[in-house]
Structure 1
Amino acid sequence: MKSFIKLFALMAAMAVGGTASAANFRTVVIDAGHGGHDNGGQWGRVYEKHLALDTAYRLEGKLKSLGYQTVMTRRSDYFISLPQRVSTGNRYTNNAIFVSIHYNYTWKQDVSGLETFYSTEQSHSLAYCVHNSLIQRTRTVDRKVKYARFYVIRNSTLPAILVEGGFVSNATERNRMKSAWFRETIAQGIADGIQRYRRQY
């Protein structure tokens, strides 16, 4: 029993220390998914790479207005490899978080909703804060926070999440994505979540 108590105390101390250091960030690395020859999800002339980049720029503006420093893994329509994206973020270890922005796609055209992924324990709280804020802002289908081993979040040394802002393959969501107000709402939801994450500690 004593050993269990000691182990629990040690785990609690590690958790507090980890979340405290994670919350002391000033920089947000914004990763707009895909780019260049990599279109990502696509339906007609609606390309995930364009939606992601536009949302990333909107998020950057909101974060800068809140006093954050921002780093974009790409600023125009060009291809950047997954290792390059991770390398960009990992330069800011202990002083940043990593947010990768995507829009989803599946052959099942009736599937819809937002989901947020994390891969490491240090990223769990960030994922929940951002996802809950996104759902509150968009009032759309909640596909929950999920664990995944996507390259950019699995190999990040920062608290890192990957946001899927709806399905390009779903007609209703695709029409929303084509409207600036929806991409603005996604960006605002992410910014709200980042603020919530920082304040909660």
Structure 2
Amino acid sequence: MKSLTTLFLISLALTAISNAYDFRTVIIDPGHGGHDKGGQWGRVYEKHLALDTSIRLESHLKKMGYNTVLTRRSDYFVSLPGRMTIANKYSKAIYISIHYNYTWKKEVSGIETFYHGSQSKALANDVHRGVMNRVKVVDRGVKYARYYVIRNCNLPSVLVEGGFVSNTNERSRMKTAWFRDAIARGIADGVQNFRR
């Protein structure tokens, strides 16, 4: 009986090792940009929120020892295929798309994380958990989706929606640096957990 238990534990350990994904580079993709403002309310534009959060994420990841690549570093437009051209040049990397949500239903709020493939689901779970540990908002969960960037990326990839620009309370929070930084730190936590 003891030997069977030992073999079972060894098998579990080997499975965990085989499921691990070795990477040192994180592709960070701030959604929208340029003429594509994304969700907006008054002068609050998703493209600006996404870029600021992405730059903060890059800073936290660099401190952890990761290599980073941003698909844009200022307010200009990059096409969806262009974003994938950048991301798919890399191997031993992961891809994170940063967005903020919008809906005509002003009462809707919360953070959600999307994935497409099975390996990406594990990344999405880790990233989402990391974010939810950093901010106290409605948890909209981890969801499968067919968004262009996560469907066409060859790397483990996720798309994070950091709250609703259309919700008054969430919009007030996302306008503050501490909230965007908390989301960035949470994503970085999730990246670190995924690599272990």
TM-score (norm 2): 0.91
Counterpart in 2 of 1:144? 141
Counterpart in 2 of 1:114? 111
Counterpart in 1 of 2:158? 161
- Name the % identity: 65
Cα distance in 2 for partners of 1:27, 1:38 equals: 27
The question of whether the paired residues in 2 share the 8 Å contact of 1:123 and 1:159 is answered with yes
Query: Structure 2: any 5+ residue segments left out of the alignment?
Result: 1-11
**What CA RMSD, in Å, does the superposition of the two structures yield over aligned residues?**
1.3
The question of whether the paired residues in 2 share the 8 Å contact of 1:18 and 1:122 is answered with no
2:164 paired with 1:173: no
Cα distance in 2 for partners of 1:26, 1:198 equals: 9
Query: How far did residue 18 of structure 1 move?
Result: 6.3
Q: Secondary structure at the match of 2:29?
A: strand
State the one-letter code of the partner of 2:168.
A
Which runs of structure 2 are paired with 1:60-79 in the superposition (5 Å)? 60-79=58-77
Q: Secondary structure at the match of 1:76?
A: coil
State the one-letter code of the partner of 2:23.
F
Counterpart in 1 of 2:53? 55
Query: How far did residue 19 of structure 1 move?
Result: 2.8
Q: Residue by residue, what CA displacement relative to the aligned partner does 1:4-39 show, whole Å, maximum 9, x if unpaired?
A: xxxxxxxx9xx767632x2x1000000000000000
Query: Structure 1: any 5+ residue segments left out of the alignment?
Result: 1-11
TM-score (norm 1): 0.89
Which runs of structure 2 are paired with 1:11-90 in the superposition (5 Å)? 19-20=19-20, 22=21, 24-90=22-88
Cα distance in 2 for partners of 1:122, 1:190 equals: 17
Cα distance in 1 for partners of 2:64, 2:154 equals: 24
Counterpart in 1 of 2:7? none
State the one-letter code of the partner of 1:26.
R
Q: Residue by residue, what CA displacement relative to the aligned partner does 1:109-162 show, whole Å, maximum 9, x if unpaired?
A: 000000000011110100000001111110110000000000000000000000
Counterpart in 1 of 2:194? 197
Counterpart in 2 of 1:125? 122
Q: Secondary structure at the match of 1:161?
A: strand
Closer, same or farther: CA 37–18 of 1 in aligned 2, 3 Å? farther
State the one-letter code of the partner of 2:78.
I
Cα distance in 1 for partners of 2:48, 2:70 equals: 14
Q: Secondary structure at the match of 2:77?
A: coil
Counterpart in 1 of 2:5? none
Cα distance in 2 for partners of 1:18, 1:179 equals: 41
Cα distance in 2 for partners of 1:147, 1:19 equals: 20
Closer, same or farther: CA 110–98 of 1 in aligned 2, 3 Å? same
